A and B are shown apart, each in its own frame.
Chain A
Amino acid sequence: MSLAHRRPLWQFCPAHCIQLFLHFVGVLVLLDLHTHSIKSDDGRAKVENYCQWIRSKNLPIDGFVLTEHRQFDDESDYSALAEKFDLCILKASEVETEYGHVLVYGVTPGLQAEFDFGSISLSLARVIEASNAHGAIAVPCHPGRPRVGMFAHTDELGVPEGVEIVEIYNGGSRDQEDQIAIDNASQLGYRGIGGSDSHIVSHVGRCATRFDVEIKSIDDLVSALKAGQFEAVNLKSGN
């Protein structure tokens, strides 16, 4: 996947130029792994508008993953938009557990039959177990956040088994929420991803995850996550 997209170099800020250079010297893909569209009850962004925003603002991301709240969006097909804007658009879910919110990549019909995605009181252990059994991967998101973040519950509930990756950069984080996530992830040996958690178009791409392998499908994404071939990136202004 190319980052150039026929844009003149002077349109890129230095950080974007570095990203562009890295794309030329090796396979690097930058994806926003946590976004919401109007399919989520609190999402105000249409997927096409995300694409237009990314291109009109020359954002350095190559695509994004739609992680709709408490559901998997079976019906939407974004392949035409992906082709039109030369972006990778993938679909996943954000579910709710006793340890807070959890992104699930690689959702299949079999996995959907394993638990009620609409529940707000799922068992994290069950989500991880079922995800692993169906070739998916579960990633607790904004873990440094009160109530809906995993590390807000580990003192009371203990450190959950089976977590390998957490979201360490979240575009909606306040105060020290990302730092809490980074510190705890480091202490527990978790790898970190980044995602904007955007609900409106102008927030897409605030955080992302860089991969050193090509990502063209959700299977590619799950494989890369399981292989640990990624790095969280904070693209919020000032970083």
Chain B
Amino acid sequence: MDFALSLDQKGLGKDIQEFSRRFLAPIAAECDEKQEFIPTEIWNQMACLGYCGLPIPLEYGGAGLGALDTLICLEAAGKGGAAAGHLLSWAVSTVLGSIPIIKFGTPEQKELYLPRIANGELICAFCLTEPDAGSDAGSIRTRAERSGDYYVLNGTKAFITNGPIADLCLIFAVTDPDRGSEGISAFLVESSFPGFSRGKQLDKMGIRCSPTGDLILRDCLVPAANRLGPEGQGFKTVAHHTLEWERANFSFFLGVMEYNLQTCIKYARERIQFKRPIARFQAIRHMLAEMRVELDAARLMFYRIGWMIDQGLVPAPVQASSAKYFLTRALKKNADYAVQIHGANGMMKEYPVERTLRDYKIAEIGGGTTQIQLDIIAGNIIKS
């Protein structure tokens, strides 16, 4: 067993953290206030540096990184002080947008889409959730009916990360209503396809830098060639085999926690109460120590998931759900303590810790709620 990071991982982490510090951290507060995504100019720069195609193979213009390398990159961006919302949108587009195509796409689909994801031209969305199908994702109702060389899609997708800005949406729709979750197929839907429209951008309490909205499909015409994977395998295969990646994607929050912890250590050293830095008080010291311990544990669980994907040791639902469950818990405490250590200052918008206390909630809800993670873990361990 080797816990050392490779030369690549160290170098990439250093570079991306520096990028985040220089370009993403300074815009975080304002974008949070205005609910804005990364400005085009910075997004294009990210694409030039390879950040929009981290896991995309080299032959398609990506960086060709494995899972562990990719999640270390996401983490590094968090360490640099970027807004969690920006990182969520980036991770969803870059990772969840590309992995299903890499794994299940036809050569034509790969050729058509992967290079444009990698070069930043396409922002992607992963569209499973519907107004009446959240945790119970198998109960979606969006319909896809075959008509010649096309499928005709009708329905609404809800709370879609990148919904308001996505150019390419992976949409899950029912092709055979009689077969339950085995009647669901996946489609690569471009926002320019006829019948595709968007709801308005939603006003959220947290991850405000990540645009969220509904997608409305009214007789949306999708070429049959844009079906991803075999008919009926959208949920059972495409969505399921992306699960580990979906969980691992949250690794940017490891970086956010690290950034918070460092911010708190600095603040605790400088803030004077009762004539001494508050870092001298046990109450504060123990909070900092807890933050560190839980971050470390969450990090190790995430690195293991990355490693398992790279080793082909998937599906690994227990390990993946455990990692996400634990990260969420650690993050909640991290965000809470960070504000607590900052006292009244911590509630002020000018301190980044305030944002994290609003942002952390997405981790408990998005990508499978905490309760669903526990269900998955319990189901697997009791069964075996």
Whether chain B is bound by chain A comes out as no
* Interface residues, chain B, with chain A CB atoms under 8 Å away: none
